[in-house]
Amino acid sequence: MRSLGAITTDFDFDTPGKRSGFIDLTYSDNDNAFSVIRLPVGVIKNGHGPTILLTAGSHGDEYEGQVILHRLMQTVAANDIQGRIILLPALNMPAVRSRSRVSPLDHGNMNRSFGLGAGEGPTSSIAKFINAHLIPMADVILDFHSGGSATQYVNCGFLCLGPDKGLRTANLEVAEVFGAPFTMVCSIDGSGGDFDTAAHSHGTRFLACELGGLGQFSLHSFKVGWQGVLRVLAYLQIISQKPSPSKTRFIDIDTKCSFITASHHGLAEFHVSIGDTVSTGAALVTLYDPHNFGEIFAKFHADHHGVIAIIRRNPMVLPGDHLCLLAQELRPEMLMS
């Protein structure tokens, strides 16, 4: 039995074979007064080899990763592998059930709940259990995300670079193996509440990814993630098949990017699409005044060359809403400086 606070499980992570079960969250409210909330978990284990932890459903309106993990659990047999695959397809099950980014129980954002100041609610309880019991089991972690209901992302790995140069090199190699069309790059300082930082504090190799978005399932994004996870499994020698390699392009979403942000309530006309490469001065967005027909509030242009990495779903916007993100491309050698 493993437990921490409101989380308990008697699931067997260690015996060879393939099985599924649950991690149980106890939380008493009007709907769960005589219940536990069950987070599905699976393991596939055989022989000797590394452990990979695969997670999805940190945000409940992000679907490609959830489907990828279900497909793996359905199609991979224990005899197919050497090592151990641990799968959690609905990391924040309350959010998954409500098809929402955050938990309806406490409005907790799972990927901001791994820090010391995350509080004591159910979302933080799940994160603390993962941090205490599952991250230490893993040699590598892949965490699947998408743009959710609010945005669309280029299909990408999401690489957080920390101060540990050895771990930085190892994570960069995982990103290159995963081989998404793009890899977003940002830095961490070890103080955040995200899953990436928690893994970094354990010295565990970690790569997140962003696959599609718009609150829907994209077959193309699913295929990108599916091939990526197979490449990582082959790289770790957990599976013997060798999927074709794919080269990734690194883009900076830290210091070498621009958020195009509305300052008015308006109707946005987008002149670019996700993944477009644009030059300095290119037209990005026109923002119309919805209350004064024919009036234009603002026209936005690119202030540098780059890639449209994130774009907003809803074109009716309020002040402070980001319309898109323009990211500059990085050479791989720049990531080690």
**DSSP, res 132:** I
**pLDDT score at 72:** 98
| Chosen domain end from 247, 262, 277 | 247
Helices (H) and strands (E) in the chain, counts: 6, 19
24 and 100 share one domain = yes
Is pLDDT at 15 greater than 90 in this prediction? yes
**pLDDT score at 117:** 61
173 and 241 share one domain = yes
| Chosen domain end from 217, 247, 277 | 247
263 and 225 share one domain = no
**pLDDT score at 227:** 98
45 and 180 share one domain = yes
Enclosing domain of residue 330: 254-336
Cα 18 to Cα 170: distance, rounded to the nearest angstrom: 29
Please tell me the pTM assigned to this model. Answer: 0.96
If pLDDT is split at 50, 70 and 90, which confidence band does 177 have?
Answer: very high
Tens digits of residue pLDDT in 43-78: 999 999 999 999 999 999 999 999 999 999 999 999
Q: Residue 265's domain is classified under what CATH number?
A: 2.40.50.100
**pLDDT score at 337:** 67
| Bridge partners (DSSP) listed for residue 183 | 157, 250
- Residue whose C-alpha is closest to residue 233's, from 57, 59, 69, 39: 69
Between 28 and 309, name the one with better pLDDT.
309
Tens digits of residue pLDDT in 98-132: 999 999 999 999 999 998 665 679 999 999 999 99
Mean confidence (pLDDT) of the chain: 95
Range 148-152 average pLDDT:
97
Range 265-294 average pLDDT:
97
Q: How many domains is the chain built from?
A: 2
Q: Residue 85's domain is classified under what CATH number?
A: 3.40.630.10
126 and 14 share one domain = yes
Range 196-217 average pLDDT:
96
Is pLDDT at 191 greater than 70 in this prediction? no
193 and 301 share one domain = no
290 and 185 share one domain = no
What element of type H or E holds 196? helix 195-202
The region of weakest confidence among 9-23, 111-125, 146-160 is 111-125
22 and 111 share one domain = yes
| Chosen domain end from 247, 268, 289 | 247
94 and 114 share one domain = yes
270 and 238 share one domain = no
The region of weakest confidence among 72-76, 92-96, 111-115, 204-208 is 111-115
189 and 261 share one domain = no
Is pLDDT at 222 greater than 90 in this prediction? yes
11 and 106 share one domain = yes
Find the Cα–Cα–Cα–Cα dihedral 113, 199, 95, 315, rounded to 10°: 90
